Structure 1
Amino acid sequence: MQDYSMSRWLSPLMAFCLSFMIIVGLAPSLGLQIDRQIDFWLLWLGTMLILALPMTYLEIALAKRSKKTPLTALAELTRDADASQHWRIVGWLSVVFIPFLAGAILSNVTLNSLQHAQLGLQANLLLVIGAVVAVGLSFLSRSILVLLTALGVIASLVVANIFGTALQPWHVTPIEFKEWGNATILALVASGLGLGLYWQTNTLHAKESAATQAVFPIWIAQLVAVIAFGFFAVSTQIPAFVLCFAAISSAALLLQLAKEQLSQRNIAPVLQYIIILLALLVWAIPNITTIFNSIVMLWGLVICLIYAVFVGWIMKISHLRKSMNFSSEAFYNIWRIAVRIVTPLAILIAIISFIGQLI
């Protein structure tokens, strides 16, 4: 059992580190590691405000109401809402997605490392080595893993700033429909939202204070992480060792979070490791990365969509009002409109936009 007596810095620091590493992993697939378009990043900033912020509130409100980790809490939440047990599938989709996302980070970073360094290893072998190390590190305490990941991320930024080559100047281009899908993926999937990570790390910290006190540090940390990437285009600037260290540490943190949810759901340890290792090591299949990267983005969006529909339409209107503890009823109503209407519609449009890029 993990020690939950962790200080308030843990969630925002984790948000910064994981958001940074996820976007480093996904950037090549989204075409963001080189091209620095002002219009796109302004669009992303808008999605962070209208999509990511309400989703972060959603996770913290569920943590404050349930005081349990997501996979366990969903059984209680569906009963309270008199909802079908089928809604609990979102918890399983999320907990399997976490190690799958860890595999995405390791796979994409190792491929990038091989392109920029003479390591003499095949990409799938390097991924397996990184996965084994990540599984071993996942037994460390949560705070140590967050600090290791932060060390790797900060080292990446320092190296990129000092030794990086000149980047393409910032410029303005016409906004295209596909950019909405990319911006939404960046705001939701790359921020780790919908996976219950921030819900999980705030479960036993839940108090009667306003949710905003927990939400804003996390949201600002997500903003800073992606802004840092946008300014340094880190995935093209960093030596392989530094980037691999950050990737392995962040993967270990994700694996630990997945193990904890499965453990608290009383899943047998052997089955826990089968689920985690299969979702992680499937990335070692040769020539599968491009297909799996697309699955990562669509899977992450679908999870966020299900949570938005469940909280906005299935849970009763009074269920999260006390947990949010807004100073004004108007703020609660604005958040509810965002979750019920704006977020589902925006995600559906993003899914259509992204699929259109694949066809």
Structure 2
Amino acid sequence: MQDKAMSKWLSPLMAFCLSFIIIATLAPITGIQTDRQLDFWMLWLGTMLILALPVCYLEIALAKRSKTTAVQALSSLTREADASQKWRIVGWLGVIFIPFLAGAMLNNASGLLSVAAIDVAPQILFAGLAVFALALSLLPRQILLLLSTIGVLASLAFAHIQGTALPAWQITPIEFSEWGNATVLALVASGLGMGLYWQSSLASVKEQSVATKTVLPIWIAQLLAVVAFAFFAVKAQISALTLCAAIVAAAAFILQMAREQLQQRQLNIAMQWLILSVATLIWLIPNTAPVFNGLLIIWGLLLCLIYAIFAGWIMKISHLRKSMNFSNEAFYNIWRIAVRVVLPLSIIIALLAVIGQWV
């Protein structure tokens, strides 16, 4: 468990690095960066406000309520709500999603190395990066986050210095598919639904009576990460190498967090490493990347959907109101409407839009 001082800056810094790296992973899948449509980015800003911010509050409120990580917390949260034990599956889905996401990130990193003119088969590169990331996950969390931050900032700096050319901004009619992409960008690419911010904020939320003090720095860091990515592209060797280093460190970081959750469930160490390794290395299966990319997006959206339904409809009203401790009752009512109605409907529409692009 991280100490109180570290927890105050760990979550926002993690939010910036992780959001930047996940969107770099998802951009080739969704075509987010190549379009450079101003209307799409305005739509994304709206989804960050009406979707990502309520989910971020949800994670921190659950952290304050449970005072433990997601997998462990769902046992007590379902008991408090007199809810079926089936709801606990969302914690397990989240912790298994983490190494699956790490595999996607590393798979993208192996592709980046081709930009750096490294003449090795992508699958061999991926296997090497995955094993390296699993080994690095044994390092202290502060070191991994520092390495990831340096890598992201270096990638941004070198892309700017080398004058990476990007398509011109344009305004186009908003299409149905853009809602799906904007929702993916706001929720999945921001790292929400996995309980990572929940986990990294545990020490600080115990000391803070108001959830907003924890939520807003995370949310602003997520905003900054996506804005930075809007002006970024990997087209030079050194940017590819620095971003690849950042991805490996970030993958190791989240793998360590997943392992910590499995440890709290008292799984034996062999089972912990088996779950992490299989979920990460499954990306080695040939010709499955398109299927896994789709699964990644759908799985990430479903996590947010299940949490929204559980927090909005299953949990008792008083529990999360006390955890968030808003200064005005109206703010809580707005949040509750967002979680109960706006989030589920928006995610379902996004799922339809995303699936519609593939049909």
TM-score range, shorter chain: over 0.9
Aligned residue for 1:201? 200
CA distance in 1 between partners of 2:182 and 2:303 (Å)? 17
CA distance in 1 between partners of 2:107 and 2:269 (Å)? 26
Instruction: Give yes or no for contact 2:7–2:203 (8 Å, CA) kept in 1.
Output: no
Aligned residue for 2:50? 50
CA distance in 2 between partners of 1:31 and 1:337 (Å)? 32
CA distance in 2 between partners of 1:346 and 1:30 (Å)? 18
Correspondence list, 1:1-359, <5 A: 2-5=1-4, 6-114=6-114, 116-206=115-205, 207-232=207-232, 234-237=233-236, 239=238, 240-359=240-359
CA distance in 2 between partners of 1:238 and 1:200 (Å)? 35
Instruction: Give yes or no for contact 1:164–1:238 (8 Å, CA) kept in 2.
Output: no
CA distance in 2 between partners of 1:110 and 1:130 (Å)? 8
CA distance in 1 between partners of 2:82 and 2:175 (Å)? 42
CA distance in 2 between partners of 1:208 and 1:155 (Å)? 34
Secondary structure of 1:194's match?
coil
CA distance in 1 between partners of 2:85 and 2:192 (Å)? 22
The count of aligned residue pairs is 356
Q: Which amino acid aligns with 1:230?
A: A
Give the direction of change, closer, same or farther, for the CA distance of 1:288–1:329 in structure 2 (3 Å limit): same
For each residue in 1:330-357, what CA deviation from the matched residue of structure 2 results, as whole angstroms up to 9, or x when unmatched?
A: 1001000100000000000000000000
Instruction: Give yes or no for contact 1:103–1:281 (8 Å, CA) kept in 2.
Output: yes
CA distance in 1 between partners of 2:287 and 2:235 (Å)? 21
CA distance in 1 between partners of 2:355 and 2:22 (Å)? 20
TM value normalised by structure 2: 0.97
CA distance in 2 between partners of 1:17 and 1:123 (Å)? 24
Q: Which amino acid aligns with 2:136?
A: L
Secondary structure of 1:9's match?
helix
CA distance in 2 between partners of 1:288 and 1:124 (Å)? 12
CA distance in 2 between partners of 1:85 and 1:237 (Å)? 50
Secondary structure of 1:193's match?
coil
Superposition CA RMSD, Å? 1.1
TM value normalised by structure 1: 0.97
Shift of 1:164: 3.8
Give the direction of change, closer, same or farther, for the CA distance of 1:315–1:126 in structure 2 (3 Å limit): same
Secondary structure of 1:327's match?
coil
Instruction: Compare 280-289 and 20-29 and name the one that shifted more.
Output: 280-289
Secondary structure of 1:182's match?
helix
Give the direction of change, closer, same or farther, for the CA distance of 1:245–1:66 in structure 2 (3 Å limit): same
Give the direction of change, closer, same or farther, for the CA distance of 1:312–1:235 in structure 2 (3 Å limit): farther
Shift of 1:65: 0.7
Give the direction of change, closer, same or farther, for the CA distance of 1:352–1:42 in structure 2 (3 Å limit): same
Shift of 1:34: 2.1
Shift of 1:112: 3.2
Q: Which amino acid aligns with 1:61?
A: A
Unaligned runs of 5+ in 2: none
CA distance in 2 between partners of 1:219 and 1:138 (Å)? 26
Q: Which amino acid aligns with 2:15?
A: A
Instruction: Give yes or no for contact 1:194–1:304 (8 Å, CA) kept in 2.
Output: yes
CA distance in 2 between partners of 1:164 and 1:193 (Å)? 32
Shift of 1:144: 1.3
Instruction: Give yes or no for contact 1:24–1:235 (8 Å, CA) kept in 2.
Output: no
Q: Which amino acid aligns with 1:350?
A: A
Shift of 1:33: 2.8
Shift of 1:208: 4.4
Give the direction of change, closer, same or farther, for the CA distance of 1:170–1:238 in structure 2 (3 Å limit): farther
CA distance in 2 between partners of 1:160 and 1:287 (Å)? 31
Unaligned runs of 5+ in 1: none
Give the direction of change, closer, same or farther, for the CA distance of 1:163–1:355 in structure 2 (3 Å limit): same
Shift of 1:275: 0.5
Shift of 1:203: 1.5
- Runs of 4+ in structure 1 off by over 4 angstroms are none
Instruction: Give yes or no for contact 2:19–2:226 (8 Å, CA) kept in 1.
Output: yes
Identity of aligned residues (%): 61
Instruction: Give yes or no for contact 2:30–2:181 (8 Å, CA) kept in 1.
Output: yes
CA distance in 2 between partners of 1:339 and 1:65 (Å)? 17
Secondary structure of 2:214's match?
helix
Secondary structure of 2:253's match?
helix
Give the direction of change, closer, same or farther, for the CA distance of 1:291–1:242 in structure 2 (3 Å limit): same
Shift of 1:237: 4.9
Q: Which amino acid aligns with 1:286?
A: P
Shift of 1:142: 1.4
